[in-house]
Structure 1
Amino acid sequence: MTDATTERRAVERVGFIGLGTMGDPMVSNIAASERFADVLVHDVDAVRAEELAARIGARSAASVADLAACDVIVLMLPTSAIVRSVLVGEDGSPRIPLAPGAVVVDMSSSDPTETVETGRMLAAAGIHLVDAPVSGARERAVTGTLAIMLGADDEDAATRAVPVIETMSSTIFRTGGLGTGHAMKALNNFVAAAAFTAASEALVAGARFGLDPAVMVDIFNVSTGQSFVTTHVLPTHVVGGEFASGFALPLMTKDVRIAQKVQQASEHAAPVCDAVTAALGDALDALGNVDHTRAFEFWSAR
């Protein structure tokens, strides 16, 4: 356990790794809050990092090692395997030589079992890992109103992470120990994916029966079939034909596969999760890296 005075020190320097669709607006809100003396950003695309740093008044870090002086580091990366590769070397030691008591916040959609293992590796060096995945898509990342699912084994670490998270969030839920946030995120995304898959099937069947898809969506939204998918996804990105929700099909499929692993670990039958995983997997195999809403086109053409 780290010294209490170390745990209580103020969070002054914040690092952020991963400046993609979600990371860009998230770190922009951290910088705009003016709560912290220094904000450093890093991305595999160095030009992107430099341009973003200039735009938001932060500093660009050429390597992850340059974030060593940070009190809190946030990651927003595609997978937990990438998170592990950024944080931990092949020998299990930290890649970022952070001071004992530093906090790492993984806001990615990660595999909870891998999160727990990475947390053990970092803890051996006195570094605390908390998981704080987000929900709300890019729209709410821009407005700083994301919903956060926060898992942590160390309450002091969670407390130190909260001021940073608050700059990006309107709602923070404490889910339990390390990994529970990521488990909750995967299960939430499974529910959303199930709604999208079911709604898509209904639209295809209705259109073949002679129903107008736009009218169907209007009816869903004043009836018991209403969901985030029917109100925010279908009107613009499926019926409207934009297919640009900002959530890629590989990422949705990955999250549902994580949810499937969580359900398998709990040793209970999950036929709906299995079916949704298979449906998304078929679409991914056929379409590759496209917006997840284009799965509707694949399912419609079958």
Structure 2
Amino acid sequence: MTDSTLTVGFVGLGMMGEPMTRNLAAARFDLRIYDMDPDRTRALADVLGVTGVTYAADLAACDAIVTMLPTSAIVRSVFVDDAGELRIPLRPGTVIVDMSSSDPNETVETGRMLAKSGVRLVDAPVSGGVARAIDGTLAIMMGSDDDEAAAIAERVVAPLSRSVYRTGGLGTGDAMKALNNCVAGAAFAATSEALIAGRKFGLDAQQMIDIFNDSTGQTFSSTHVFGPHVVDEQYASGFALPLITKDIRIAQSLQQAMDRDAPVCDAVTTAFEEALAGLGGVDHTEAYRYWSGESR
């Protein structure tokens, strides 16, 4: 696929952002990339043969700008100041495609701020991890109040995904992502709990995972995470413990805002918060070590 008719900016060249920019470059967009680390920007731009910019303001001429950043607060800070004024002189009609795991309420407010200057925000968080970012097969949850902006966003994200789900208005993609990660966190926590008990009883860890995967206990965690990153102790899934904990907290706040009793979400939130307090900014799979007592 090629699409040279759009000038696309990309902000955030981390574990997910770097392979995503590679796929956008392969799609022949007029691509301009930016990261707070100028050496990272320069090195990747040289490899991909695209434009690396030194300042976010250098993205002003882009038709669309993709963000892949840690939080919605950071996304907002790239584009608007505390008074809600643009930090980058973006043209009216510019589309910002926030693919970060953002707080839906903050996304809606940022959208309001940007709309004052005619800039359109689409939330399009992803699921699938680093492996699917590399393959260009991410699942994307897209929220937008503007059909034209969403259509432009879909053109931009097409090389990154195998499926784009239009979830509704602005912020609904972020809500869906948080709830999805809460479910994923619950599965990881439950599988960890079972594995810890089974090992203490004398069961073989890998055989337990094999049986889960051939039985009703199968989940994404059991098929893609536990073998290499827990049983083989690689602990390198590429998804950091602070990030999944942040997403689960967002899901909990959504449950509370809906006035819902959510004991499973509450328990998962507590489990990950305790692991985060004990371990800090490690890969999320190391939470298993904390829960099992190995890292205390």
TM-score (norm 2): 0.97
Q: 1:119 aligns with which of 111, 117, 127?
A: 111
Q: CA RMSD in A?
A: 1.0
Match in the other structure for 1:250: 242
Q: 1:12 aligns with which of 3, 6, 9?
A: 6
Match in the other structure for 1:6: none
2:57, 2:143 → 1: CA distance? 25
Match in the other structure for 1:143: 135
**Residue 99 of structure 1 pairs with residue 91 of structure 2:** yes
2:189 match: secondary structure: helix
2:82, 2:176 → 1: CA distance? 29
2:81 match: secondary structure: coil
Note the 1:27-106 alignment, pairs <5 A: 27-34=21-28, 36=29, 38-106=30-98
Match in the other structure for 1:261: 253
2:195, 2:145 → 1: CA distance? 44
Match in the other structure for 2:19: 25
Whichever residue aligns with residue 14 of structure 1, its letter is V
Unaligned 5+ residue runs, structure 2? none
Question: For 1:201-238, what per-residue CA distance to the aligned partner results, in whole angstroms no more than 9, with x for missing partners?
Answer: 00111111111111111110111000110011011100
1:129, 1:296 → 2: CA distance? 37
TM-score (norm 1): 0.95
1:172 match: secondary structure: strand
How many equivalent pairs are there?
Answer: 291
2:185 match: secondary structure: helix
1:127, 1:46 → 2: CA distance? 26
Q: Could you tell me the percent identity over the aligned residues? A: 62
How far off is 1:12 after superposition?
Answer: 2.0
How far off is 1:119 after superposition?
Answer: 0.1
Whichever residue aligns with residue 18 of structure 1, its letter is G
**Residues 15 and 73, structure 1, Cα contact 8 Å, conserved in 2:** yes
1:19 match: secondary structure: coil
Note the 1:152-301 alignment, pairs <5 A: 152-301=144-293
How far off is 1:162 after superposition?
Answer: 1.0
How far off is 1:197 after superposition?
Answer: 0.2
How far off is 1:11 after superposition?
Answer: 4.8
Unaligned 5+ residue runs, structure 1? 1-9
1:121, 1:70 → 2: CA distance? 19
